[in-house]
Amino acid sequence: MSAESPAAGCAGAEKKRLSETRSIDFIPHSERHGHPFSQFTLWFGGNLQITAIVTGALAVVLGGDVVWSVIGLFVGQIVGVAIMSLHAIQGPRLGLPQMITSRMQFGVFGAVIPLVLVCIMYVGFSASGTVLAGQAMAKMLHINNSAGMILFSVIIIVIAVLGYQVIHKLGKVASIIGVLAFLYLFITLFSTHDLSQVWQNRHFSFSTFLLAVSLSSSWQIAFCPYVSDYSRYLPPDISAKKLFSAVFLGTVLGTQASMTLGVIVAAIAGNAFSGNEVGYIVGLGSTSTMAMVIYFAICFGKITFTTLNAYGSFMSLTTIVSGFRQQTSLSRSSRIIFVVLMVTIACVIALLSEPSFLKSFTHFLLFLLAFFVPWSAISLTDFYLITKGRVDVPALSQPDGRYGRRNWAGITIYFAGVLIQLPFIDNPLHHGSLTWIFAGNDVSWIIGWFATALLWLWAKKFDRRGTLAASIYP
């Protein structure tokens, strides 16, 4: 009995503490708490937001019809969220942030390669969210867009510094606000517009269908580098099935609702939507009061989503720096500095890139797949089929330890996974030479994931780590 009481006390203290004290260090079992439902509300509420609406709208803006765009987006959700949910299970099993575990496959210093790319992704998503939220906040407070973006960034800094507990509470509130706002928007659409012609406009095109699949799957795969950051405080023996289901259902339902709304709005609006995404959505409000409510809902939804990116960027930057300093934790002052740095960079990019947001964001989102698909394949294959979820936690901070400074097998296979995809990528940033095989459709992410996974399985016999003993797992 006495052995259990201190643990319970620690867990209670951690739950009551508003500001998170841990960073990239292992979460002791005594501090584990929570229920899978918190994962449902976090990802459901986090995806009921304007950027997901805009992403869904792209399927129509770029040539698709309503029916097949919705179906294609849903197919992409299923594939992308399944991969994402498998990463979520790593959180409670390892008790570590997502990207620090990459040191197992890439080495303590070698893990910097995917980490730098992850930081770039976080900054890009944060910048795009700041553009849209800044527009909404400017309208709501009657200030200019730049002031709206700066104010929004300050709010993100405060919440990201507070950390895990506040982010999950924010997810619960975002779920409630998001459901109410989306119900209103859907009811307004169906009651004020004749959608019969929209639904009858069916012209299946394999190219635009695959585009819709890629849009939604890339949206979900982009979450993979940080999804377990928000599940790592859960008890280590929590049901994998329940956790998978909570993340899967929350993400699919939230994202599909947002993207379906975007598809319908884009089909109704035509050319009036591009470049005026926030304004058009808010214009669906029948009164000035409802318009303000929708502006508030947009801002709140973006606060949740952008906080996830800011917190993730802080964790990734901390992992990079700590690897060279051989640290296992971070001081509060350093935490604040890192968060401020990453959010400020995103805000500056947002202020400079607002006019070309939609076009640039589309290209950026799709091209991200080439760099995160092979990392995901290596991480999941190693966790589920090779190490079986066991990790030597102290060695993650020891360049001369079990995982070494650089794991050249992991680094080589990672870049091989990127290179394998290049001939099949069809993006304004890169046109692959073999896209003609699939009638110009981008299927690089499918080829890259399975090819990388197979390469990693083949390379395991050259992995000097061997099989970890159960006693190494904390």
DSSP string, 88-134: HHHHHHHTS-TGGGGHHHH-TTTTHHHHHHHHHHHHHHHHHHHHHHH
- On whether residue 96 sits in a domain, the answer given is yes
Whether 280 maps to a domain, the answer reads yes
Residues 6 or more apart whose CB falls under 8 angstroms from that of 292 comprise: 140
Residue 73, both tokens: 């987006």
Residue 6: inside a domain: no
In a domain, residue 4? The reply is no
Range of the domain at 242: 36-472
Q: First CA to last CA across the chain, in angstroms?
A: 22
Is the residue at 420 inside a domain?
yes
Domain membership of residue 130 (yes or no) is: yes
Query: Does residue 97 fall inside a structural domain?
Result: yes
**Number of domains composing the chain:** 1
Q: How many CA atoms lie within 13 Å of 144's alpha carbon, on the beta-carbon side?
A: 4
Q: Indicate the SS3 state at residue 427.
A: strand
In a domain, 133, yes or no: yes
Walk along the chain (474 residues) and give the pLDDT tens digit of each residue. Answer: 333 433 444 444 445 556 666 667 788 888 888 889 989 998 998 888 888 888 898 888 888 888 999 999 999 999 999 999 999 999 898 888 888 888 899 998 988 888 888 888 778 778 877 887 888 888 888 888 889 999 999 998 888 888 778 887 887 888 888 888 888 888 888 887 777 777 777 788 888 888 899 889 888 888 888 888 889 889 999 999 999 999 999 999 999 999 999 898 888 887 777 667 777 787 776 677 787 888 888 888 888 878 888 887 777 877 887 777 766 666 677 778 888 888 898 888 888 875 666 566 657 766 777 888 999 999 999 999 988 888 888 888 888 888 888 888 899 999 999 999 999 888 777 788 888 787 677 778 889 999 999 999 888 765 544 444 333 444
Tell me, yes or no, if the pTM score tops 0.85. no
CATH number, domain containing residue 430: 1.10.4160.10
The alpha carbons of the chain give a radius of gyration, in whole angstroms, of: 22
